[in-house]
């Protein structure tokens, strides 16, 4: 039974870390998009 708990714990940690990774990448893309919008508006 402890292996089952360990497996679920590992899975949830991986899902959480992947979600944080995606969130950070999305923020980077949004920031770059905002920079590009400003560059296009300036021209």
Per-residue pLDDT of the chain (43 residues; tens, 9 = 90+): 899 999 999 999 999 999 999 999 999 999 999 999 999 998 8
Task: Report how far residue 16's alpha carbon sits from residue 27's, in angstroms, rounded to the nearest whole number.
Answer: 17
CA distances from 42 to 6, 18, 37 (A): 54, 36, 9
Domain boundaries, position 43: 1-43
Record the tokens describing residue 12, joined without a space.
Answer: 């949830």
Query: What pLDDT sits at residue 19?
Result: 98
Token digits of residue 14: 């991986």
pLDDT at 17: 98
Q: Which residue is associated with the tokens 């949830």?
A: 12
Domain total of the chain: 1
Task: Look at the chain and count its residues.
Answer: 43
Q: How far apart are CA 13 and CA 21, in angstroms?
A: 12
pLDDT score recorded for residue 13: 98
């Amino acid at each position: 039974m402890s292996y089952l708990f360990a497996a679920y714990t590992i899975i949830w940690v991986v899902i959480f870390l992947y979600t944080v990774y995606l969130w950070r990448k999305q923020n980077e893309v949004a920031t770059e998009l905002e920079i590009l919008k400003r560059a296009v508006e300036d021209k």
